[in-house]
Amino acid sequence: METSLYHLTAEFIKRENNISINMYFLDGKEVIDELYNHKDEIQDKVVIPLFWEWLNNKKASKIFTYIEGLSFETHQKYEELSHEMLNMFVKFYAF
């Protein structure tokens, strides 16, 4: 898929102790609609739970997943979480 159609982001959510990995589609819903037609194939390919959100009343839409275990109090898992984030980005880029 052409990379100008989407943006990959990571959001660190302290209150939920997780990291949200997002694929945002900024202009219209056509791209996410087309991908949703292949949802099962994509899910099988990436082997991680994906959530689909059309963000009604906004131009954007997104596909996202979560990485559990974020803690701002302890830094023990930061290296592991960093590797997991990179792996998620690679999986998102693959479809």
Higher pLDDT among residues 12 and 55, named by residue: 12
What average pLDDT does the structure give for the chain? 88
Question: Does residue 2 have a pLDDT over 70?
Answer: no
Q: Quick one: average pLDDT of 34-47?
A: 92
Question: Using CA atoms, how far apart are residues 7 and 75, in angstroms rounded to an integer?
Answer: 27
Helix, strand or coil for residue 40? helix
Residue 10 — pLDDT band, cuts 50, 70, 90?
very high
Cα dist from 56 to 60, 61, 72, whole Å: 8, 8, 32
Is the pLDDT at 48 greater than 60, yes or no?
yes
